[in-house]
Amino acid sequence: MPVLPGVVLIFAGTLIYGFFVHFQGGLNLYFYIGQGIALVLIFFLDYLAGIWGTRKYGGSSAAAWGSVIGAVLGIFTLGPLGIIVGPFIGAVAADFVKRGNLKAATRAGVGTIVGFLGGTAVKFIIEIVMIIWFFTVIF
| pLDDT, block means (10 residues), the chain with 139 residues | 72 94 88 95 85 88 90 88 90 94 94 90 93 93
pLDDT of residue 5: 63
pLDDT of residue 55: 86
Specify whether the CB–CB gap between 132 and 34 falls below 8 A. Answer: no
pLDDT of residue 120: 87
Q: How far is it, in rounded angstroms, from Cα 11 to Cα 124? A: 14
Give, as one character, the DSSP assignment of residue 28: S
For helices 29-56 and 82-99, the axis angle rounded to 10 degrees is 40
**Backbone region of residue 79 per phi and psi (left: phi > 0; alpha: psi in -120 to 50; beta: other values):** left
**Gap between the terminal Cα atoms of the chain:** 28
Q: How far is it, in rounded angstroms, from Cα 70 to Cα 77? A: 10
